[in-house]
Amino acid sequence: MPRYKLTLEYHGAPYCGWQRQDNGYGVQQALEEAVRQLDPSVEKITAAGRTDAGVHAIGQVAHLDLVRAWEGFDLAKAINHFLRRERVVVIDAAAVAEDFHARFDARARHYRYRIIQRRAPLAVQDGLAWHLKAPLDIDAMRQGAAHLVGHHDFTTFRSVNCQAKSPVKTLDFIGIERSGQHIDIVLRARSFLHNQVRSIAGTLERVGKGVWTPDRVAEARDAKDRAACGPVAPACGLYLERVLYDDVLTGQGTVSDGMSDSGAK
């Protein structure tokens, strides 16, 4: 059976996360039900990562097997037709090798956590970012983030419900970008623990507000205790931005300024 790689975009708010669940409606279920309109034999669609409830994606990757061969453009168009009532779309579809695996072949995953810092409430971007009214010290946040880059035990920054066998991960990159009212925390690693990105974002918010010193991030890391973590940032600001499958990774082991500061108040 030919195998296909799908690149997906979805708004996480209506869903209980990526995974099909008995007590909620997941993105996986929406996509599988749409694909079965084309090929009833499809049993399961596998994704690169299981995003949580309310988390968005602009570059999620999944794979599936179909009975017949499709041109990528035609497959994406056909699936999107049956997704038209959902907040999920197929951006791209392409035939891949029969042994391609969206999860296990991934070389790196990019996440973006979006903060909008302003006094006025959000209208257009409500539900798409963490709204904070108080100013944030971006330089202090970058100093704090530097303590998390590299190979560490991230017990402090993972959910108590995390099912990963080990809390030890290598965080290749953290970039903090600021443009006007937008502050983005960009992270890259081969894999992440459950709630790791949101825990890091919430901790760096404490640093940005001056509640924590940058060095306290290192203390929290070394504590290897969930109780030492800052608050978990809301799901609405988190995006699975991109999944890489090639062998070339650049900028490892760095904290980046990202975009230049442009005077956000």
Cα gap 166→164, rounded to integer Å: 6
Is 3-96's fold the same as 108-256's? yes
The answer to whether 52 is a known catalytic residue is: yes
Helix (H) or strand (E) holding 242: strand 238-244
CA–CA separation, 59 and 33 (whole Å): 20
pLDDT at 253: 42
Q: What is the pLDDT along the chain (265 residues), one digit of tens a residue?
A: 899 999 999 999 999 999 998 889 999 999 999 999 999 999 899 999 999 999 999 999 999 999 999 999 999 999 999 999 999 999 999 999 999 999 999 999 999 999 999 999 999 999 999 999 999 999 999 999 999 999 999 999 999 999 899 999 999 999 999 999 999 999 999 999 999 999 999 999 999 999 999 999 999 999 999 999 999 999 999 999 999 997 433 333 444 444 333 333 2
pLDDT of 254 reads 43
Topology at the third CATH level for domain 3-96: Alpha-Beta Plaits (3.30.70)
Q: What is the pLDDT of residue 246?
A: 79
Q: What 3 state SS string does 124-187 have?
A: CCCCCCEEECCCCCHHHHHHHHHCCCEEEECHHHCCCCCCCCCCEEEEEEEEEEEECCEEEEEE
CB atoms within 10 A of CB 10: 23
Q: What's residue 74's pLDDT?
A: 98
The pLDDT, as a whole number, for residue 265 is: 29
Q: Which of 22, 39, 52, 261 is catalytic?
A: 52
Q: What is the pTM (predicted TM-score) of this model?
A: 0.91
Q: How far apart, in whole angstroms, are the C-alpha atoms of residue 28 and residue 10?
A: 11
Spell out the domain ranges in the chain: 3-96, 108-256
Report pLDDT for 42: 95
CATH of domain 108-256: 3.30.70.660
